[in-house]
Structure 1
Amino acid sequence: MSRQPDLVIANATVVNSFGRQNAHIVIQDGLITQLVEASEAIPAAERTIDAAGRLVIPGGVDGHCHVAQVTGRFRTLDDYRTTSTAALWGGTTTIIDFGIPRDAQETPLAAVLHKKELAVESRCDIALHGAVVSWDETVPWQLEQLAAEGVRSVKMYTTNRGSTMADGDTILKVMREMVRLDGLTYIHAEHDPIISDCTQQHADDGRIGIEHLHRTRPELAEEISVRETLAMAEYTQAPVYFVHQSTPGAVDLVTEARARGQKAYSETCPHYLALDDTVYGSAFPEWYACCPPMRSPETVAALKERLAGGAIHTVSSDHSCYDLSQKRERTDDVRAMPHGLPGVETRMPVTFTAMVSADSSVEEFVEVFAAGPARINAVPGKGTIAAGFDADVVIFDPSEERTVDGGALHMGTDFSPFDGLTLTGWPAVVVSAGRVVLDGAGFHDPGAVGRFVARNGFREHLASAVDSARATTPATLAAAK
């Protein structure tokens, strides 16, 4: 006699990126084994959660996190236990971190293997991106080893000379290797000569404090870099993913490239949807030190229009967990202070609030929060509530409002850039790999059970997603391309 399922989420309104249905979700051994029509009897289980009147969506996939990141003399204050716990509090059940070399002596392969060692403390599933700063004859072999490890993407920066910046020759050569290895090239796109010159001009004028950050990194610098990178990607036929796009112009360039047949993707972050550059005139401008900086209210409104129109493919946190003491060391000089914001825990409500205000549907929210990041990053078993997928699900009430208290969050820092904002759409129950980790009784620490997820090849996974989409709806097929 077969044993009962571990968990049933009954009377659920299941919302995937391609539609919704009323069903009982049956979970056993960390997988979704069945969706039973809600008109049928609720299957017996070891535990049953009644989701009547609430929506159930796939657990979030945050494709852009920095955990225990070392940049120059600064190190983020989190570890995998802290960040994964905060992710689960925020309805995210899979995070993708970066193995970025900490200095010139650390190789791309060593950086990833170091992060894999640290990640054994994770409470949720994790995957990794690699990173290349400079080219040498060992890089092709290292990228092959990364692919064998299930690390199928590599990030490069077009700015930050002297630390993480990769020159054009390196970017082009890495793109060729990623095509060979069926991988994805990640790009932080800001035009370094423009930024360096603009920053120096502001320094010469004595306007280099944090209150001037948004003026030192103009929108043009981002858009020119996107244009140049797209040209290299077109030349090499490399799929390319642009992190934290902050301007509608940058997004439009990607949209135009896609119309020409390129595999190009736009990511934005919650802070570019909820905040604008007036924050640099606030009492605490150091709360908002990030690159690119916040943009004008008009730019933010246009970016939200692009998101509502489907031109932005993912919303990721770009989580970087510095605290205020680190931020305040050098508020007098943006060149010397650490940039990056804590946000893995608040990604769900900030993104949902921004999308609801732009009349987006819950299905469209699921696409950028879970389904799109899983598909584009070729993460198997994630981003969809269906039989055979991992049992990562979130019950939430889209009308629930809470006001952010940065001190009450769980990200290992003492502030949130969204402190005081009232946001809609918070997780009520979070199930990760079949375990209930958050419910009305609070957080239930599952221990160091997070799994490293080896990712598929980019084109291999995309083809599989399209085949799967043909079995569902035309809307899914459109989203999967």
Structure 2
Amino acid sequence: MADLIVAHGLVVNGNRSTAAHVVIDDGRITALVDARQPVPAAGRVIDAAGRIVLPGGVDGHCHVAQITGPYRTLDDYALTTSAALRGGTTTILDFGIPRDAAETPLAAVEHKMELARQARCDVALHAAVISWDPTVPDQLERLAALGVRSVKLYMTNRGTTMADDDTVLKVMREMARLDGLTYVHAEHDAIVVDCTHARAAAGEIGIEHLHRTRPELAEEASVREVLAMAEYAGAPVYFVHQSTPGAVDLVTAARARGLAVHSETCPHYLVLDDTVYTGRIPERFACCPPMRSPETVAALRARFAAGAVDTIASDHSCYDLTQKREHRDDIRLMPHGLPGVETRLPVAFTALTDALGSCTEPVVLQRFADLFAAAPARVNAIPGKGVIAAGYDADLVVLDPTETRIVLGADLHMGTDFSPFEGMRLRGWPRVVVAAGRIVLDDNGFHDPGPVGRYLPRLGYRDRRPLARERS
């Protein structure tokens, strides 16, 4: 007898949909049985008739308990991973970013590994390098041995997390040698700094002017430079939170000429535009890159719907309004980042299905399953994730694709006092979530599984190729 069966649902993977009973035993999927057949015996059966069953989400870009300068996000692993599960995400990837010049990249990751012992869902990690020294190659080798196969580099944020061009190129070479992946925050620092200084001189440095200090050109100029360095170093690159169609097009063109490059965007860049900075609470939208013009958002959403973007990630950063309002009159001093790990599924699902004109067509659902789960697992080389198939981890989300709810920040669970999506009506809310074979969300509410999340070592970038083939 199986432990659990999710019966009669439309099982949606990245390239195929089938009506099936999902059989789960000992935390793994053991079989998919044609839904026309009787439901096998099980300790518990969840009836998913009339609903879709997606792979548990993989959020490749989260910041948990992050310290940047004088600010610390207000969450911990117990809180953020519980919110992730409520939102249908069963695996997160966090960053070990050095808190100051005294902390090494290896120590930053080891610190996060210790904190992650309280995680309720599975966790993988990225490293980050800010400055180069002779110990970095050995640290990167030791990180790779721990299964940390990616390093983040910031092209901006001078004085805190920014890496200079020499460091960027050296890290790319090391990551190519170690079969790793370079994550990049691409904004041209000189353009951002000069533009910010000009706005400050004009007295336009409050939050309502954020979008004018970090222009689209700064992002696209940085993407061009990073692509040139990646091509020179022979390094695979993943661009985080791309917010313009021009940035996505640069990645698409580079991939067409043979570079190993990937494009990520975030839900807020698909549904919010820069008019939010003229609203009543503009500090709710303080993030970098900022929101873009309505025309840019429409064009980015078209690229997203057409398949030019590889993954959708939350870029979750849990500050509250008190922290953001401390320096709302000077964006150079305020913390940037938005809470979003719990709302990634409904915001992205609504954006994609609105753009493609259907929330029930199999091809649309398959595209979403790839963006939400399969592609993040594949690109980041995480075995056992992102696919509903025998042998994979039993991570599932059951939802009614036509059901809508209104976002109320007070009803969310991310440890902050706002949501950038407050008041929006969205589709794609999880009704049932299964993580590692445990039912953590159903009609009776959230069932805290305790600190059962596992740390997930990852494969090398080239070693991920079998995952790229197994998409059904």
1:477 match? none
Aligned residue number for residue 231 of structure 1: 228
Q: Determine whether 1:130 maps to 2:127.
A: yes
The within-5 A match list for 1:157-196 is 157-196=154-193
**Aligned residue number for residue 443 of structure 1:** 446
**Corresponding position of 1:203:** 200
1:40: how far off?
Answer: 1.4
CA distance in 2, matches of 1:449, 1:80: 11
Question: Is the 2:381–2:458 contact (alpha carbons within 8 Å) kept by the matching residues of 1?
Answer: yes
> Which secondary structure state, in structure 1, belongs to the residue aligned with residue 50 of structure 2?
coil
Shift of 1:237: 1.0
Instruction: Give the aligned residue type for 1:159.
Output: T
**Mean Cα displacement is larger for which, 352-361 or 91-100?**
352-361
Alpha-carbon displacement from aligned partner over 1:73-124 (angstroms, at most 9, x marks no partner): 0000000000000000100000000000000000000000000000000000
Query: What's the counterpart of residue 330 of structure 2?
Result: 333
Counterpart CA distance in 2 for 1:451 and 1:102 is 24
2:320 matched to which residue of 1? 323
Q: Which runs of 5+ in 1 are unaligned?
A: 473-481
For 1:319 and 1:104, the matched residues in 2 are separated by 24
Cα-to-partner distance string for 1:147-181 (whole Å, 9 max, x where unaligned):
01110000000001111000111111101111111
Question: What is the correspondence of 1:170-319 to structure 2 with a 5 Å cutoff?
Answer: 170-319=167-316
The CA distance in 1 between the partners of 2:375 and 2:417, in whole Å, is 31
Q: Equivalences for 1:92-103 in 2 at 5 Å?
A: 92-103=89-100
Task: Verify the 8 A CA contact 2:8 2:47 in the aligned structure 1.
Answer: yes
Deviation at 1:466, TM superposition (A): 4.0
User: For residue 406 of structure 2, what is the aligned residue in structure 1?
Assistant: 403
C-alpha separation between the residues in 2 aligned to 1:466 and 1:229?
25
Contact 2:383 2:467 in 1 (8 A): no
- Equivalent residues of 2:381, 2:467 under 8 A apart: no
- Matched with 2:361 is none
Which of residues 375, 378, 383 in structure 2 aligns to 1:380?
383
Instruction: Look up the match of 2:78.
Output: 81
| CA distance, structure 1, for counterparts of residue 249 and residue 84 of structure 2 | 30
Instruction: Show the counterpart of 1:479.
Output: none
Deviation of 1:292 after TM superposition, in Å, equals 0.2
State the one-letter code of the partner of 1:341: L
1:270-311 deviation digits (Å, cap 9, x = unpaired) = 000010000000000000000000000000000000001100
* 1:416 and 2:416 correspond: no
Aligned-pair distance for 1:468?
3.1
Give 3-state SS (helix, strand or coil) of 2:49's partner: coil
SS at structure 2 position matched to 1:351: helix
Which residue among 364, 370, 385 is the counterpart of 2:373? 370
Change (3 A) 1:467 1:406: closer
**Aligned 8 A contact 2:22 2:31 in 1:** yes
Letter in 1 for 2:87: G
Partner of 1:478: none
Q: Which residue in 1 is equivalent to 2:109?
A: 112
Q: What displacement does 1:458 show?
A: 0.8
Q: Distance in 2 between matches of 1:313 and 1:329?
A: 36
2:457 is the alignment partner of 1:460: no
Q: Could you tell me which residue of structure 2 aligns to residue 433 of structure 1?
A: 436
Following TM superposition, by how much is the alpha carbon of 1:259 offset from its aligned partner in structure 2, in angstroms? 0.4
Q: Conserved in 1, the CA contact under 8 Å of 2:345 and 2:429?
A: yes
Of 339, 344, 347, 2:344 maps to 347
Of residues 141, 150, 154, the one that matches 2:147 is 150
SS in 2 for 1:426: coil
Per-residue CA distance 1:173-201 (angstroms, 9 max, x = gap): 10111111111000000000000000000
Structure 1 residue 425, shift from structure 2 partner: 1.1
Matching residue's letter, 1:346 = T
> 1:39: Cα distance to partner?
1.5
What one-letter code is carried by the residue in structure 2 that aligns with 1:15? V
Q: List per-residue Cα deviations over 1:352-384 (Å, max 9, x = no partner).
A: 000011117011111111011000000110000
1: CA distance, partners of 2:196 / 2:100: 24
Q: Distance in 2 between matches of 1:397 and 1:141?
A: 49
Tell me which residue corresponds to 1:59. Answer: 56
| TM-score w.r.t. length of structure 2 | 0.98
Tell me which amino acid in the other structure corresponds to 2:435.
S
1:465 partner letter: L
What CA distance in whole angstroms lies between the structure 2 residues aligned with 1:408 and 1:39?
38
Amino acid paired to 1:391 = A
CA distance in structure 2 between the partners assigned to 1:226 and 1:169 by the alignment: 16
Secondary structure at 2:159 match in 1 = coil
Distance in structure 2 (CA, Å) of the matches to 1:10 and 1:425: 19
* Alpha-carbon distance in 2 for matches of 1:373, 1:264: 13
Distance 1:165 1:414 in 2: 29
Name the CA distance, whole Å, in 2 between partners of 1:467 and 1:294: 35
Shift of 1:442: 0.1
Q: Could you say what secondary structure the match of 1:161 adopts?
A: coil
After superposition, the CA RMSD in angstroms is: 0.7
CA shift for structure 1 position 12: 1.6
> What letter corresponds to residue 438 of structure 2 in structure 1?
R
Cα displacement (A) at 1:467: 4.0
Structure 2 residue ranges without an equivalent (≥5): 359-363
Amino acid at match of 1:199: T
Question: In the alignment, residue 231 of structure 1 is paired with which amino acid?
Answer: A
Quote the residue 2:39 is aligned against.
Answer: 42
Q: What SS is found at the alignment partner of 2:428?
A: strand
Whole-angstrom distance in 2 between the partners of 1:12 and 1:21: 8
Q: Judging changes above 3 Å, is the alpha-carbon distance between structure 1 residues 412 and 314 closer, same or farther for their aligned structure 2 residues?
A: same
Q: Residues of 1 paired with 2:408 and 2:100: CA distance?
A: 35
1:465: Cα distance to partner? 2.4
- Equivalent residue of 1:126, what SS? strand
Look up the equivalent residue of 1:393 and give its one-letter code: L
**Could you say if the C-alpha distance between residues 172 and 330 of structure 1 is closer, same or farther in structure 2, counting changes exceeding 3 Å?**
same
Aligned match of 2:393 in 384, 390, 394?
390
